[in-house]
Structure formats: C-alpha cells, structure tokens
Amino acid sequence: MAANVDKKQHYRTIEKTCYGANIIYLILHVFYLVLFIVNHYDILAYVTGGIIAIYILFFFLIKARKYYIYALCCGNLFFGYISVTTIMLGFNTGFHFYLIGLCVVSFFTTYFSKFRNIKGSIVWVGLSLTIYLTLYLVTTFNKPYYENIPQWLEMTLFITHAVVVFGFIAIYLVVFLRYAMSLENKIVNESRTDELTQISNRYGLYDYFENEDNKSNLVLALFDIDDFKNINDTYGHAVGDDVLTKVANLAVFTLKDSFVCRYGGEEFVIVLRNEGKYSFFDKLEEFRKSVEKETFEVGFNKVKITVTIGAAKYTNGISLEKWVELADERMYTGKNTGKNKTVI
C-alpha cells in the first residue's frame, strides 16, 4: 500500500510539473507570436505558430504519462527554436539563456525518469554547451537575418528570457527540494517506526528523549508479555505477531497521551507523565488489568495473556539507557515474584 502511495505521489509531482511547464511554454510562445507579428517578422511568426500547435499536442503526451518522451521532444524543440531565433534576431535577444535552463531540466528529468541514466543528462549538457558556443560564434561573425532590431524589442526579449529561465531554474529546484525533503522525512519516519506494530521503535524513543524538554514528571515503564515464547511455540509466530500488534494497540488506546514504543521482541516502553487525577501507578495498573481481561482472538485461536510492568521515575541527569535499565530491573523483580504485576 505504501509503495502505491509513493508511486502516485511520484507521478503527481511529474504530472503537475509537466503540465505547469507546458502551459508556461505555450503562453511564452504566444507572447513571441504577438511580438513577431507586430514587428512583421513573418518567418518567425510562422515558425512560432507551428510550435504553438505542437505544444498543444504535447498535452496529450502528458495525459498519456509519456513524460520521458515529452521531455525529449521539448528539449529538441527548444534546441531548434533557440538556434533559429538567435540566428535570425541576434545573440543579444537572450534566447541562448534557455540552453542554461535545459541543463537543469535534463538532470531533473533524469532523476524523475524510470530510466535514470545520468549519462543522458551529461550528453544534454554537452550538446547545450556546443550549441551555445556555436551560436555565439555564428552571431559574432555574421549579422542577424533581421537587421536593425528595435532596441525596445531586443531589451524586452533579453529581460523576458533572463526572468523566465532563472525563474524556471528556481521552480524546478524548489520542486526537487520539496520532493527530496518529503522522501527524507519518509525515510526518517520509517526508521523510527516498528514495522510490525506500526508504533515507534527504540530509535523513536531516543528521539523522544532528546526532544523532550520537561522531563521532571516523566515515568518510564518497561513491560513484556508473560511467557510469550509459549504463545509462539503453541500457536506459531504468525499468531505471536498478531498478539504483539494487538497489545501495542491496547497500550496506545488505554494510555492516551503517553509515548508507547516497541523496544524489542515482546518488550515495550511507555513514557507517561505523573500528573492529573490518577497516579502513574494507577494508569499502568489500568493497562495491565485491561490486558488480563482481554481475550485475543487470532484466527480460530483465543489467547489469554498477561504482562509484567516495571516503572522508574525520571531523576535529573539520568541517561536513557540507565533509565530503561532501572525499569528493566523492576520488571524482572515482578517476573521473579509471580508475574502479571506492576513494580515501581
């Protein structure tokens, strides 16, 4: 299920980026078309009109989830359009800025592509650099096809391209950063979550201890399921796993506003505050008795279990390891004196 959610999020990110980019490309080329028509640059007007039609068709590519093909088509289309417009209008119009933007887009596309071939991005960068230098040399030694371009038009195109390209680079990097951060958070959360019970694991406990500023009223309780090995031996490990999950859920439900984690095996840690109407002992006893009364129905099996709990109050400067050790000693005192009890 989690893998499907990640895949959907992955495709949503790509789809939104592609749709957004294509809409901006389309608007940009309509803007060019208006400028070229106003200035009677007929050849560029026809070329731009044809490219607008292609960008409209690109929406069908995106809808069909042909993202890699879309990226390739866009890149090649830009290479051609940049070359034509720069040769016809001159280097100072700033169309060459797009070549810088294409380098960033190529790596972005590679990261989100299922092929993930970084060599392809390096080829795109090399091709962009080659075209950039070629256009610079061609326009340096040859006059543009349309000479005497109005200064306002040259400045408008230059500023437009600078803003659009640097804006695009920023947008692509923001999208990539957000996606990377969401993956990082997911990895951190998964590393702090017990796979079986879906509650925190001991690494989550370490984080909780480090991030909790007010520890003065805290109590740490360690409990495990009495004779859990017998459950595994009698009913099998699948039943044992179900029992662990149901005990974890019962602990979370009963000890509301407390931190519950699976410490390892059949051992669980509860961190609760010693305040309010009931003392921490009363709260732990309520949980212990609720486990004792519960009949755990696992498949065709009905399992009765008990837990033994050891608890220790927080004392200034104590390490988490020592705190757990104190609770562990008290839990084993309970184990050795009859089980199914809370020892403080």
Please write the tens of the pLDDT for every residue from 48-93: 999 999 999 999 988 888 887 887 888 889 889 999 999 999 999 9
Domains of the chain: 2-191 (no CATH), 202-343 (3.30.70.270)
- Is residue 212 flagged as an active site residue? no
Contacts of 305 (CB under 8 A, 6+ apart): 225, 226, 228, 231, 243, 247, 291, 294, 296
Could you give the CA distance from residue 24 to residue 206 in angstroms, rounded to a whole number? 47
pTM, 2 dp: 0.62
Confidence check: pLDDT of 276 > 70: no
Strands 295-298 and 301-304: antiparallel
Q: Can you say whether the dihedral through the CA atoms of 207, 211, 216, 218 is positive or negative?
A: negative
**In the predicted model, what is the mean pLDDT of the chain?**
88
Catalytic residue among 266, 267, 292, 321: 266
Using 50, 70 and 90 to split pLDDT, how confident is the model at 293?
Answer: very high
Q: Is 64 exposed, middle or buried (0-12, 13-18, 19+ CB in 10 A)?
A: exposed
176-197: pLDDT as tens digits = 888 888 888 888 888 899 999 9
> pLDDT band at residue 7, thresholds of 50, 70 and 90?
low
Contact 175, 17 (CB under 8 A): yes
Tokens of 313: 């109050």
User: Is there a contact between 222 and 310 (Cβ–Cβ < 8 Å)?
Assistant: yes
pLDDT value at position 236? Answer: 87
Q: pLDDT confidence of 307, banded at 50, 70, 90?
A: very high
Quote the pLDDT of residue 1.
43
pLDDT value for 2: 46
**Closest by CA position to 222, among listed 256, 260, 269:** 269
pLDDT of 5: 45
**Those residues with Cβ within 8 angstroms of residue 51's Cβ, 6 or more apart along the chain or in another chain:** 29, 77, 81
